Each structure stands twice: as structure tokens, then as C-alpha cells.
Structure 1
Amino acid sequence: MIIHQFYDKGLAHASYAIVRSGKMIVIDPARNPQPYYDFATLHEANIVGVIETHPHADFVSAHLELHQTTGATIYVSKLAGAAYPHETFDEGDEIKLEDIKLKALNTPGHSPDSICILVEDESGKDCAIFTGDTLFAGDVGRPDLRENVGNITAKKEELARAMYHSTREKLMTLPADVTVYPAHGPGSLCGKSMSPDLQTTIGKELRENYALQLMDELAFVKTLTADQPFMPKYFGYDVELNKNGAPALAESIAAVERPAADITFEKGLPIIDTRKREDYRNGHVPGSYNLQDGEKFETWLGSIVGPDEQFYLIGTDEDALDTVIAKAAKIGYERHIKAAVLTPAAATEQSDLIDFEDFKADSHGYTIVDVRNWAEINSGKLFTDALTIPLPELRERVSEIPTDKPIVVHCAAGYRSAAAVGIVNAVIKNVPVYDLGEAINDWK
């Protein structure tokens, strides 16, 4: 038996392939199916099954495309309300892969329709479990993503109670040496306290995972529902898209408009400039946002731009556009791209540059806007009089920023503030708007 992990660091997402005797099953695949085809070819295996542990909120799955391309059966809980061809896979159901078994466990908590897949090896021993978003290394799945979306909705307190029972009655009773393969690692927004490990064991989690320690149900619910990370705008959209099945990736990306000449940007649509900060500062389209291509680009794109909006992408060259379009597709946003263009002639507006010495001498002469996340803000403000508006909320709350003084925007390292300055500048024109950028380190 071969178990292989595919890891996407940008979304902190882990998917898996199980190969046995020339047959392969994929678990929680990412949007791009090619790595799974390549792995099957490498091991001379046929992809015969795809298992979805739940309808994912943070990425788009290739389950339907894998089915359409290979004929593989899609397995998912009957509770998911899947609108694509599938076989239900719930407690008591098994998939035989030659002489090993994949056994379904219903484990509601992160979502009402979550399942885990327990692997029984050729000797009849339970040896591994794929836990989806139920159990991570150092954490369990957040319970607040399905209050308004999905086939079944549930309040976060209800799902937290379900997680208490799923962990204690289904997972914590497994042998300590069972290997745990979760769907996410550190940096994922599907949990709040994941360890750096990309796999673990039941025994290690029993010893070290805060959520598996001795506590009553009420204490567990209170602990799990507290201090969860922010929820990007795209999460609910992806749940519905995954419930129905996404279009094939290559064809969907090929449909993105990429005009060869300059275009007139439609008023009111976000313009996402993905170039480096210095290039943007030296000349950009008025009203555009500098969301630089980087490790978390897709998460921040889906946090700033809503799933009901069209938007433009600007890139330095064709390869750069290929990259950011592919990243947008990972969250299902490629269909919302109005056009993807190279740096246009209209990119002539220059950014205001702050006088650091003046700011250091009299920071009270500026309106300071802190665009970090609430967890960061609650752990301590860097400027006591700063206005706190996390980046995902900024477009909706720009009107709260006073305009009687120059505005300085900061985050924790400079990436988010670069995007935030464009959002503020698009609305506020009568005072300069400065990006504190990486200089924020001087105040830490």
C-alpha cells in the first residue's frame, strides 16, 4: 500500500492518494487534477475512486473533473446533498481496494456532513485515518463555517457539541499508533492552533492536542468557539460550488479574457494589481489595489473581493498572469475575472511616500489604521490610538476613517497594508494615504 500526500502551501491544503495493486483512490483533491494523473501514471495505477470528506469551504475540489476524466466513483456522505454523480459513503460503508479496506466514520463537528476514512491494512489492522477537517495536528476543525451555507446548516455551538462527541466517541478510541492524515496544516483558516506537523498519530494528539484533553462538553464548546480566525468572503461560495461540482480547470481558465491591447476598465469593478510593491508605487491604475502575488494571494483575493463580483487582474508579464489566474481558480474565482491584462498605459498614478522621521516625531498628527486580523489586534495594538479595521472588512468600512489628517496604514509585515492603501485611496482623495510597510517592524 502506498499513501502519498500532495501539499499546497498557499492554502495549507493536503490531499492524498492511496495506491494498492494498480488501483488508486484520491482523497480531498485540489482544483488541479494533473498531479493525481501524474502520480497514477508513475505507479501504473488506475484512478478508481475519489472521496470527499465534506464540501470544502476554503478551496475548490477536482472531484467532478476526476470522475468525468477517469470514470472514478465519487464517494461522499449522504448528508452533503451532493448534486454530482456519486455513491454515498457513511458509517458502516466500506470500499475494498484489493486486500485493504477504507471504512467511513461519520464525524460531524466542522460540518454536519463530515466523514473520516479509516484504513484497514491487509492484515486486518486499523493503521491510518484520513480526518479531513475534523482532526488536525494540534487542533480540530472550526465549527462556524456552516451556519448559513450547505445542504445542512447548523449553529456553531451545535457543531462544537457534535465535535466533542465525534472526537471522544470515534477518534480518541482508536489505537494510539494509527497515523492521522489531515486535510490541512499550519496557516489554514479551517482551524486556529495547528502544529507544523503535516501528519500525526492518535497517540500524539491524545497527549498534545488541546481539544482532546479532559474537559466537559460545555468547556469544550466554549474553548472551540472562541478566537477562531476570520472567515474570507469566498468560503460560503466554495461550499456551494463543491456541493455541485466545479467546471473542468483547463477549459475554465482558457475562458478568461486576456486582451492584447489596453482596455477601458469598467467603473465600480475591483482592479487587482499583482505586481511587486515598488512597481505599483511607481505607477498604477487609479483606484487599483496592490495585492501582490505571494504565498497567500488566493486567500486575500477571496477576502477582499466577494464571490458575487467581477474583477480585473494586472500582471507584469504573461507568466505572472498565468500564475495568478491559476491561484484564483483554486478558490473558484477564475470565472469572475473580467479581464487579465499586462500593465496598462493608464498605470501612471504614483503612491504617496511617507516621511518616516516626521511620523516618528509626531504620530498623533496622522490617522493610523491597523488592518491586521482581530486575533492580532486583540493581542496588542502597536499604536494605542489606531483605528482598527481588518483588511477583509476595509472596503465596507472605509467611510469610518476620518479625513482631517494624513492617513497611515499598517499591518504586521507590509503585505496587507500594501493592499489596504489602494482600497483607502480609491475612496479618500482629499488627504494623502501612506503605507507604513515593512517599517512597522520599528514599532514592534
Structure 2
Amino acid sequence: MKVEQIYTDCLSQASYYVESDGEVVVIDPLREVDYYIQKAKNSGSKIKFVLQTHFHADFISGHITLSKLTDAPIVYGPNADPSYDVIIANDNDVFKFGKVYMKLIHTPGHTLESSCFLLFDENNKQHSIFTGDTLFLGDVGIPDVAQRYEGLTKEKLAATLFDSINNKIRVLDSNITVYPGHGAGSACGKKMMKETVDTLSNQKIVNYALNGSLNKNQFVNELTSNLPEPPAYFPQNVLMNKNGYKDLSDILKESNKALTVDEFKIQMLKKNTIVLDTRSTIDFSNAHIPGSYFIGLNGNFAPWVGEILKDVKKNILLVVENGKELESIIRLSRVGFDNCIGYLKNGIYSWVQKGNIIDKIDNISPKDFTLLKGDFKTLDVRKKSETSVSSLNNSKKIPLSEIYLNLDFFNKKDKIYVHCAGGYRSMIAISILKRNGFNNVIDINKGYKGIQQCLV
């Protein structure tokens, strides 16, 4: 028996490939499914089941495509109501493959259909549990208010999750391995550990949800306090995962198109169309198309696309580093942004060669920033959990995820110095500010880390 975790850093998401004696189950697959198919082919194995822990809100799963290409049925737990053919399993239903089997354990709370899959080995012993968004390392999944259950509050979902954790998971063999659906950085939890695999016995020590120190009311208060509103794209992703979506191969055929400058400019004029620049912060800073969004591939690209662009139906024109066209389209599709019209052929170089206007971002070194005097404002776009630890005096603290709600805080004539921790989020923020008429914005190189080094 082999268990492989396929971890995608950008999404902080884990899918799983479990193989036994020529048969395979895949759990919560990514949208690009070729890896799982090729791996099974290489070992002479057949994918027997595609197991889904719940309807995902933060990414588009590849379950529908994988099932279509392999004839492996999709399995959901109780309360799931997809628009396509699946097996709706009951609590404790068993799925055999090779010499082992999975038992579905219904664990509602994060969502109503949330389920875990308990793996039993060749000796009929509990081996590991695949917990989806029910249980993370050091944390549990927050109540998924993105699904907007009628008559169900986040408090009721949290109370249900308390029962699931204590009645279904804490009672399992402490020696089993825990394989969660996400790691640190995901918006599906509040304080996940950076590790992505652990034993249940250790989690019973380090995870507040498992160590028995909280009663139900305390657990509910802990889990539901200071919950942010889910990103706007979450409900849209849920619906795509429930109702279906285009195959990635079809999206690539439609989107992987090189557009001349003239073709690009015509498309820019169309309704609900935006320009997205996925290059590095330096390249964007040096030259970009006026009014374009910056979200670089070298950071948490997909989640920020969803957070900033919000509407998955937006038409997207890409400006990319040469050779990164396909990667940009695929990573957009991971969060349901399937309407990419094409990319600018030869990138920003062709735009400049045609004599078109470009925009640039002014920047300042951390040292020069610390020496500044006069009338200026500082914007810190880090998360509240970061600024609460340490921040600059008199800086305005607006998390990047909340920037649209706070555009009226500054005057458009203000000189605004912007920083995050290292420079990625600040460049996203500046691109948004410039789109909204704030033209006197300056990026602080190396962000707060650089500033701190100069203040030592």
C-alpha cells in the first residue's frame, strides 16, 4: 500500500493518491488531473474511486474530469446534492480497493456534507485518516458560511463540528496518521500548523480541538470569534464544484491564445474585461499597461486572484513573462477563473515597441524611508495577525483583503508609502490604488522586514 500527498503550495491544498494491489483511490484531486492518471498508468493500476471530502469553496476540484476520464465513480458523504451522478454514501460505508479499504466517516460542521475517510490496512487495522477541512493540524475547519445554509448559523455549524470531532475522530486509534486537506496559509482555518502530516496522538496534545480542554460553548466561541467574511469567489467555487464546470483541456484551447497589440487593445475595450499582469514585482514596477492588476505567479497567486478579482466570470487579458502563459491560465482555472481571452504576444515589450503608454511604480529603499521627513502617509497591507505583533507608529493598517472597503480613507492627492511583509502584497495593493485614481503611491522595497532591519 502506498499513500502519496500531492501538496500545492499556492493553494495550501493537499490531494491524495492511495494505491493497493493495482487499484487506486484519489481524494480531493486538483483540477489538472493528468498527474493522477499518469501515475496510475505507470504502475499498471486502475483508479477505482474519486473521494470528495466536501464541496470545496477555495478551489475547483478535478473530481468531475477525473471520473469522466477513468470511469471511477465520485463519492460524497451524506447531505451532498451535486448536479451530476455520484455515490452518496452513508456514515460508515466501506470502499474496498486492492487489499485495503476506506471507511467514510460523516463529520458535518465545516459543511453539512463534510466527511473524512479512514484507511484500513491489509491487516484490517486503522492506518490513517484523510480529514479534508474537518480537521487540520493544530486547527479545525471554520464553519463554511460561503454555502449559506438556510436556518444554520456559524454557531450551529461549529457546535455540530464539536460533536463530529469528539464523537467521530477523538475515539479513533491514536497511532493513526492524520492527512488534512489544507496547511498553513489556507483561508479555511485560523491557525494551522506549517506541517502537513502528523499523528492523531500528537494532535490530541497540540490541537485545542482535540485535547479535551474546551467544552462545547468554549469551542464554539473559539471557532467563531473574529471570523472574516469569506472571499467573494468562495460561493462561486462551491457552485462550480456542485453543478459542474468545463474540462481544463477545453479551457486551454480557448484561452491559450497569443494576441497582437492591436487585438489586445480591442479586447480591452469590452465590458467586464480586465488586464492581469502575472510577472514579477520588479518587472511590473518597471513597466506595465496602465490600469492593469498585478498578481504575480511568484506568490500566493490563485487565492489572491479570487480575493481581488472576486467575480469568476470576468474576462481576463494576460500580460506574462515569456514561457509562463500556460502556467498563468492553469493557475487561474484552479479558482474558477476560466474566462481568459488570451495573452499579449511578446509581452510588455511588444506594447512598448508599438509606442503605447506605460505606467511605472515609484519605490524607495527601506533605509531612505526611515529617514523621511515631511507630510506623507504610510499604508500597511499585512494581515491583522501580523500588524498586531509589530507595526510602524502612525501607519494606516488595512489588510489587502479589505482594501476595497477603505479606498475613501486617503485623499487622492496624498503621498502614500505602501508596504507589506516583503513586497508582494504591497504591489497588488498599489495596482488597485492606481486603478482607483491614487497616483502618488510609492512601494517600500523589501517591505516591513526591510524596514525592521534598518531600525535595529
User: Which range, TM-score by smaller chain?
Assistant: over 0.9
2:179, 2:196 within 8 Å by CA — same for their partners in 1? yes
Following superposition of structure 1 onto structure 2, how do residues 158-237 of structure 1 map, counting pairs within 5 Å?
Answer: 158-213=156-211, 214-228=213-227, 231-237=230-236
Matching of residue 428 in structure 1 with residue 437 in structure 2: yes
TM-score between both structures, scaled by the size of structure 1: 0.92
Out of 391, 401, 424, which is 1:392 matched to?
A: 401
Deviation at 1:229, TM superposition (A): 6.3
Q: Which moved more, 1:432-441 or 1:47-56?
A: 432-441
2:80, 2:88 within 8 Å by CA — same for their partners in 1? no
Deviation at 1:61, TM superposition (A): 0.7
Out of 315, 327, 331, which is 2:335 matched to?
A: 331
Q: Alignment RMSD, CA only?
A: 2.2
Following superposition of structure 1 onto structure 2, how do residues 63-142 of structure 1 map, counting pairs within 5 Å?
Answer: 63-142=63-142
Deviation at 1:347, TM superposition (A): 5.6
Structure-2 change in CA distance of 1:175 and 1:385 (3 Å): same
Local SS of the residue matching 1:65? helix
Instruction: Give the aligned residue type for 2:216.
Output: E
Q: Partner of 1:155 in structure 2?
A: 153
Q: Partner of 1:266 in structure 2?
A: 269
Structure-2 change in CA distance of 1:401 and 1:48 (3 Å): same
Structure-2 change in CA distance of 1:256 and 1:216 (3 Å): same
Instruction: Give the aligned residue type for 2:53.
Output: T
Following superposition of structure 1 onto structure 2, how do residues 383-422 of structure 1 map, counting pairs within 5 Å?
Answer: 383-422=392-431
* Whole-Å separation in 1 of the counterparts to 2:93 and 2:331: 35
Structure-2 change in CA distance of 1:353 and 1:437 (3 Å): closer
1:275, 1:315 within 8 Å by CA — same for their partners in 2? yes
Out of 359, 370, 373, which is 2:383 matched to?
A: 373
* Whole-Å separation in 1 of the counterparts to 2:70 and 2:447: 52
Deviation at 1:203, TM superposition (A): 0.9
Identical pairs, percent:
32
| Deviations, residues 57-97 of structure 1 (Å, cap 9, x unaligned) | 11111111111111111100241211111011220311122
2:138, 2:191 within 8 Å by CA — same for their partners in 1? yes
Deviation at 1:443, TM superposition (A): 3.3
Unmatched 5+ residue regions in structure 2? none
Local SS of the residue matching 2:260? coil
Q: Partner of 1:242 in structure 2?
A: 241
Instruction: Give the aligned residue type for 2:110.
Output: H
Local SS of the residue matching 1:210? coil
Deviation at 1:127, TM superposition (A): 1.8
1:80, 1:152 within 8 Å by CA — same for their partners in 2? no
Deviation at 1:228, TM superposition (A): 4.7
* Whole-Å separation in 2 of the counterparts to 1:364 and 1:3: 60
Deviation at 1:360, TM superposition (A): 2.9
2:256, 2:329 within 8 Å by CA — same for their partners in 1? no
* Whole-Å separation in 2 of the counterparts to 1:79 and 1:183: 20
Deviation at 1:46, TM superposition (A): 0.7
Local SS of the residue matching 1:236? helix
* Whole-Å separation in 2 of the counterparts to 1:48 and 1:152: 35
* Whole-Å separation in 1 of the counterparts to 2:366 and 2:162: 51
Structure-2 change in CA distance of 1:406 and 1:16 (3 Å): same
1:229, 1:375 within 8 Å by CA — same for their partners in 2? no
1:403, 1:428 within 8 Å by CA — same for their partners in 2? yes
Deviation at 1:169, TM superposition (A): 0.6
2:78, 2:106 within 8 Å by CA — same for their partners in 1? no
Local SS of the residue matching 2:361? coil
Out of 300, 305, 308, which is 1:304 matched to?
A: 308
2:256, 2:326 within 8 Å by CA — same for their partners in 1? no
| Deviations, residues 245-291 of structure 1 (Å, cap 9, x unaligned) | 33211111221162431121227643221122222222211111222
* Whole-Å separation in 2 of the counterparts to 1:33 and 1:439: 37
Local SS of the residue matching 1:270? strand
* Whole-Å separation in 1 of the counterparts to 2:206 and 2:151: 31
Instruction: Give the aligned residue type for 1:360.
Output: T
| Deviations, residues 332-363 of structure 1 (Å, cap 9, x unaligned) | 11x23243222233362222344867743445
* Whole-Å separation in 2 of the counterparts to 1:15 and 1:177: 22
* Whole-Å separation in 2 of the counterparts to 1:365 and 1:174: 61
2:174, 2:200 within 8 Å by CA — same for their partners in 1? yes
Matching of residue 315 in structure 1 with residue 323 in structure 2: no
* Whole-Å separation in 1 of the counterparts to 2:54 and 2:385: 27
Aligned length in residues: 438
Unmatched 5+ residue regions in structure 1? none
Q: Partner of 2:30 in structure 1?
A: 30
Local SS of the residue matching 1:369? strand
Local SS of the residue matching 1:212? coil
1:150, 1:240 within 8 Å by CA — same for their partners in 2? no
Q: Partner of 1:292 in structure 2?
A: 296
Deviation at 1:373, TM superposition (A): 1.9
